[in-house]
Structure 1
Amino acid sequence: MQYLVLGAQFLIGTVFIAAVMSKLVAFQLFVQSLREMRVLPARWVHLASLTVVAAECAVFLCLAIPVAAPAGLALAFCLLGAFSIAILVSLRRKQHVPCRCFGSSTTPLGMAHVIRNGVLAVVAATGLLLPDRDAPGEAAAILVAAITGTFLGFAAARLDDVIKLFQPVSAGRG
């Protein structure tokens, strides 16, 4: 079980550090998209944007410190739930806001983002609830868990690009 927990920690850590880094690069775009979602009063948007980035950074930092990893997974679970609720509210209001979860994407928020957050929340909960053994593991298994979690984390962070790979190519362009 410890390798599954470690893989979950790497997956969630990768997703959250990718989110932090991309939001810092395109922070104003993130603020703008949060404003356009209209899930918060306009006066709270900038503070909420800063809080999201700080909380996402806290998830990564907690996951990087073994004794704090459960707190990081719990915070990730809560954030993913909050993000999903905000997206669902925005969708219900028929807002077509670009997903700025990971930077400057122009893909509108949709159910794929809610599903991604749900899957990530399940991963975080699994990592939190499974027993983690303190005994040192085998180096090769630890490496496989870390690489697999990191790869899946990058795939989750680039979900919009992964989805586009499987969409049909428009026949109107040469």
Structure 2
Amino acid sequence: MFACLSLLFCRLTLLAVFCWATVGKAQDVTAFREAVVDFHMLPSSWSRALAWIFLGAECLVVVCLLSGIAPLLVAGFVLAAALLLAFGIALSTTLLRKMHVVCNCFGRTVRYVSVYDVVRNGLLVLCALGGLWFLHLPLPPAPAVAFVVIGCMSLCTAILLSNLADIVDMLRKPLLLQ
């Protein structure tokens, strides 16, 4: 039962994160395209095509993870891990080059890339790899109540990870007592 619930958690967490990222980018593709240019990793003339390719790949992850069909789940977990690794490498190199860039990972923002964005992506890569691992184990069907409980846990995890940098910044500030 643990493997079944763990698979469900990985699947729903990634589904929530990629839905959020896809909707955020789709609402302002120009902002995401600008971020692709600002990373200075690839020629800026490729930015429009890359923004749409990444957006399409994120949509594909969502479709695959929603499907529930084993081969598509495998594809969804693999594509999610690949995208997260690619984004993680881009974020890491930006930090190593001491560049101040906004990533617009979940839509337009003014917050610069931080180490917490890399940590977030690393944890999500582990989630995708975990999903692949649990998918290959013999799994009994999950009880209906598990979808609700694990769904809530996954949504909370996605929100926490997606806002990790902001949460850490908020917790680092001393409380002002009046």
AA of the residue aligned to 2:56: A
TM-score, structure 2 length as denominator?
0.89
TM-score, structure 1 length as denominator?
0.91
Query: Corresponding residue for 2:73?
Result: 69
Aligned-residue sequence identity (percent) comes to 28
CA deviations 1:58-86 (Å, max 9, x no partner) are 11110000111121111100111100111
How far apart are 1:134 and its partner, in Å?
Answer: 4.8
| Structure 2 residue 167 is matched with structure 1 residue 162 | yes
Equivalent residues in 2 for 1:9-88, closer than 5 Å: 9-67=11-69, 68-88=72-92
Distance 1:160 1:26, change over 3 A: farther
CA deviations 1:100-130 (Å, max 9, x no partner) are 1011221111211111100000011001112
Distance 1:169 1:24, change over 3 A: farther
Q: Is the 8 A contact 1:5 1:132 kept in 2?
A: no
C-alpha RMSD over aligned residues: 1.9
How far apart are 1:162 and its partner, in Å?
Answer: 2.1
How far apart are 1:136 and its partner, in Å?
Answer: 2.2
How far apart are 1:135 and its partner, in Å?
Answer: 3.2
Query: Corresponding residue for 1:90?
Result: 94
Q: Is the 8 A contact 2:13 2:157 kept in 1?
A: yes
Query: Corresponding residue for 1:120?
Result: 124
| 5+ residue gaps, structure 1 | none
AA of the residue aligned to 1:117: N
What's the secondary structure of 2:172's corresponding residue?
coil
How far apart are 1:93 and its partner, in Å?
Answer: 2.2
2:175 and 2:112 mapped to 1: Cα distance?
19
